[in-house]
Structure 1
Amino acid sequence: MDLHTRKLRYFLTVADKLNFSRAAEHLKIAQQALSKQIAELEELVGVPLLRRTTRSVELTPAGRIFLESARTALEALEAGAAAAEREGRGVTGTLHVGFVPGAALELTGAILEEFRGQHPNIALDLREFALEDPSAGLAEGWADVAFIRPPVTLSQLDFEPLFTEPVVAALAKTHRLAGRTSVRVGELLDEPIAVARSTDPAYRAQWSLTAFRGGGTARIIDTSSQTEEIGMVAMGLACSVTPAAVVRFLPHAGVSYVPVEDLPGSTLGIGRRRDRPNRLSDHFVAAARIVREKERAVIEAIEHPFACQKPIDG
């Protein structure tokens, strides 16, 4: 049976209105044309679907049965067309999002909310990675996108920056530099330095200050997490160099945080691999850009956290 969707829609409208005149007005066609379409539909089905008198229109028993099937068929067709359109535009499926501890700080929730609001049919699979993998799943191929802090050892990396925050030295309260308003890198080079254990050479070099050592070797104390790193600092076993967000997210009674004045800031953003293109990741980055523009005040606070120049006690 070769049924056109137009005939089915016309039939559903008449069945809803139970009046040819009102149905034709709703469909914006002539009543005569509507009557012709319904008659052709009944001929195709092989039985009367509507009982018409000069005063009323009602469904026949066969018409009531056909009505349910017609409605189901059209709803399924519309759902299928919508799903196909979303797939074609890359707005359905599952997006794997990796993140290191802290993710995008105060922007995390806003970015996820913006993305889910725009693309409710995309499922998000979120996974936190320890600092042993600063690529947050990109290197191993699990993550489609990830909140990361370069540098990471990954050649095929696209990176969308969100903000750049200052770097601080974490020092025991009893350390000789703990009372300073700022320190310079050169003042830290003779100190044992706590660095989260990682196989990524770029990460290790960044946070052990390799570029400033002139070929010298750092005295590194390996740790398994930033929490352990700060604990080592509090016990006076090492210092640590870390993004300023640690002041808000990992306060410690035994630690002072002092800005490092001659170190570049730490940039956090969204990374993805150029050799693994993913349309869904484009939408995620677009949502993050919207949030970045909306939340300028939040970003300003992240990027300039020190309202007064004094050491910050945890």
Structure 2
Amino acid sequence: MNKQTVFKAITATTLTITLGLGALVNNQPQQPTQTNATNVLQDSANGITMVSSSKATKISGKYKTTAALNMRKGPSTSSKKITTLKKGAVVTATYKKKVSGTTWYKVKHGGKTGWVSGSYLKKYKKSTSSTAKATKISGKYKTKSILNMRKSASLKSGKITTLKKGAVVTASYKKTVGGTTWYKVKHSSKKGWVSSSYLKKYKKTTKVSSSNSALRNKVISVGSQYLGVPYVWGGMSTSGFDCSGFTAYAYKKAGYGTLPHNSRSQRAVTKKVSSPEVGDLIFFTATPGGSTITHVGLYAGNNKVLHAAGDKVQYQSVAKGSYWEPRIVSYGSLN
């Protein structure tokens, strides 16, 4: 009696039955037969047809994990785990295949390659400076280190200027690009984008809410104790002062609190007034008629300024016709 092999076609959704390799029919091992989309293994003795996973398809692209996800050696939950990817990890896909109704992706991440379930992946879209939406904000911030201001929210963008550590900037917009939050800020007359990683919220020093003459005179009284102390660039002690170091030191000793050690920053935290009172700050520029602040001193009354200038702390005239009068930019008050 002749034996006839029975073939039964099934679809990709047909239940997959795993048979041990090397099954014999008439003492001969059976070989897989390639069909359109599946590998079919036929057992003529039992009349059973088995369908394995679909063929892997080559792909490309980046994906982001939507949950913590195991990377495995093969496209199966029973396959050995290589590593666990964190939620939000960005992976590069190279192949995909469908196994028992689940689509698996072969991906690369952090030097490792393996298979992950497509159920926990979504297409990754990288945010760019041009597409990321800017949100309007307001507030003052202080730089925590030397910081480049750029034309757009990108490290590749052209540099506008370099801000010093401790510079106070005014923010107007913020946007997140590639995981980094950028702020559009203004400093002096320049506007540009800086990384928020190097900014901290600026808190204006609480001042004594009094405008009486005794407190104002105290600033001058304290400052005059250091007449003759030498001018030292960057100095903020009785062994030597620079201009903003002297004003900040005198204000703190008089009970006004702490001022930033920078003439422009001191201007930013004081109230602009049209004419000074004793104890107010006077801001100067380097050349007559200029607008860029380069120097600061204490108004001592009677058209005099008490400041660290030249080679020491001294009183000088700001009356009309004096050296300093045409160089005055503005006045600032903490009261």
Structure with the larger RCO, 1 or 2 (CA within 8 Å, 6+ apart): 1
| Greater share of strand | 2
TM-score range, shorter chain: under 0.3
TM-score normalised by structure 2 residue count: 0.25
Larger Rg: 2
| Greater share of helix | 1
